[in-house]
Structure 1
Amino acid sequence: MSKSVIKFKNVAKHFGSQTIIEDLSFDVAAGEFITILGSSGSGKTTTLKMINRLIEPDAGTIEINDENIENIDLIELRRNIGYVVQQIGLFPHMTIEKNIATVPELLEWDLKDIKARVIELMDLVKLPYDQYGQRFPKQLSGGQQQRVGVARALAANPQIMLLDEPFGAVDAITRKELQKQIKAIHEELAGKTFLFVTHDINEAFYLGNKVMIMDEGKISQYDTPENIVKAPKTAFVQELLDTVYEEGALWGALK
């Protein structure tokens, strides 16, 4: 059994009088691809942001490699966590090469090592350096920019990758292609742990080797896609599955 990389122990988060996370406990093993699924306001993004301390919990503890993240230097913590969001946030005045090299340069890597890392990552995300390295973000499609965002998050070789609805702003065809690529990247980077927030059940079940389904700040079910389909544990989980079955019936009727 793989060692736990992330542990939530009785974590709670409130914003004013509103309870976002009530009492959250779960473990994530090394090398897993966890998708976090739920409707708006279920606590998905709050959970993700507490891992890299963009949001601080009000109660409970969060551990990475068995160490309370409150005891880890914030800069050091974030160096070991890649973070990708829907809005990408590439630097428009920098080339793709410079965007990807941002963190290694801040860490004062050797220039040769930075160049080699950029080339390696651009190849990994299927944007060859010779063709794309000197372009600027505005010269890329939305899907290509999102791949650069993934490459930039991986640049310093983090142990953990947090992805917050990264494909939500691209068209359906591009989204499918990006899903295939992120799944292949995770498989190629053996040992890296991915947590991926989505509100799309098909995306969650395709990508995750385990799916965490959240509802109103609680975990409704946390299991493999196969086990969830075979034995949904709550009415909310069953309702999610029913929407997929209904869509399937609709498309079947239109054939």
Structure 2
Amino acid sequence: MAKTKIKFRNINKSFGNKEIIKDLSFDIEEGQFITILGSSGSGKTTTLKMVNRLIEPNSGQIEINDKEIKEYDLIELRRQIGYVVQQIGLFPHITIEKNIATVPELLGWEPEKIKERVTELMALIQLPYSEYAHRYPKQLSGGQQQRIGVARALAANPQIMLLDEPFGSVDAITRKELQSQIKAIHAELDSKTFLFVTHDINEAFLLGDRVMIMDKGRIEQYDTPQNIIKNPKGAFVNSLLDTVREEESLWSELI
């Protein structure tokens, strides 16, 4: 039986008088790739940031490994969680090797262990150590920099990966390549749990084992891509699927 990795129970969050998250409850199993899909203001990024306590809920309970996250030391909690955002934030003045090694160095790993881990991760993201380790971020393309951001987030071997629209700033061809690669990385690291925020429905359905569709702070549907396509629930989910059907229709007319 699969182990529940993350639990949200009756979570509410407001900023001032604006309610962002409304009585949110869900479970995520260990090793799943969950995509969180929604338009701007749907609450998807707020939900993601509550996992590593960058944002605190007003009420409700969040658990990781059956332990309430407020019971963890904050540093201990965040060591279990990798975090990747759209603006990668690589340090421009240090090499790629040093960028990836940032967290292991902070944790006091032995230099030999750090080099071994960096080499392993650079092979995983298909940017070989021998060719790229001593370059600087400005010498890499946007897509390559984003892959380094993923490697850096994986460096301390976290149990959970949070990815907040990580491919939103790259061109369409590079984005497709990155989607294939992140899916392959998750498959190779099958014990790690990925939460991936996107507003792109094709990306969400391509990557997710399950897709969480959010609107106005609530979950409209949370299921496998196949089940959502076969049995969409509610007007919002249907409207999302309609946009895909319209795009397919347009391409059919043009070809």
Same fold (TM over 0.5): yes
Please tell me whether residue 101 in structure 1 is matched to residue 116 in structure 2.
Answer: no
- d(CA) in 1 for partners of 2:141 and 2:22? 40
Task: Quote the residue 1:27 is aligned against.
Answer: 27
- Secondary structure of 2:227's counterpart equals helix
Please list the CA deviations of residues 185-210 of structure 1 after superposition, one character each: whole Å capped at 9, or x if unmatched: 00000210000000000000000000
Q: How far apart, CA to CA, are the structure 1 residues paired with 2:112 and 2:138? A: 27
Q: Which residue of 2 aligns with 1:156?
A: 156
Distance 2:128 2:171 in 1: 23
**Number of the residue aligned with 2:214:** 214
Give the gaps of 5 or more residues in structure 2.
Answer: none
TM-score for the superposition, normalised by structure 2: 1.00
* Residue equivalent to 1:168: 168
**Pairing 1:169-188 to 2, within 5 Å after superposition:** 169-188=169-188
Structure 2 residue 63 is the aligned partner of structure 1 residue 63: yes
In the alignment, does 2:14 pair up with 1:14?
yes
Structure 1 gap ranges (5+): none
Determine the C-alpha separation between the residues in 1 that align with 2:102 and 2:36.
Answer: 28
> Which residue is 2:246 aligned to?
246
What does 1:58-137 correspond to in 2, within 5 Å? 58-137=58-137
CA distance in 2, matches of 1:4, 1:46: 21
Where in structure 1 do 4 or more consecutive aligned residues deviate above 2 Å?
Answer: none
In the superposition, the TM-score normalised over structure 1's length comes to: 1.00
The CA RMSD over aligned residues, in Å, is 0.4
Provide the secondary structure at the position in 2 that maps to 1:84: strand
CA–CA separation in structure 1 for the residues paired with 2:243 and 2:213? 15
* Distance in 2 of aligned mates of 1:234 and 1:4: 27
Distance in structure 1 (CA, Å) of the matches to 2:77 and 2:60: 18
Q: Secondary structure at the match of 2:101?
A: helix
Question: May I ask how many residue pairs the two structures share in their alignment?
Answer: 255
Q: Which amino acid aligns with 1:206?
A: L
CA distance in 1, matches of 2:84, 2:103: 14
- Counterpart in 1 of 2:144? 144
- The residue that corresponds to 2:204 in the other structure is 204
What secondary structure is seen at the aligned counterpart in 1 of 2:35?
strand
Partner of 2:226: 226
Q: Please tell me the residue identity of whatever aligns with 1:32.
A: Q
Q: Which amino acid in 2 is paired with 1:130? A: S
Identical amino acids, percent of aligned pairs: 75
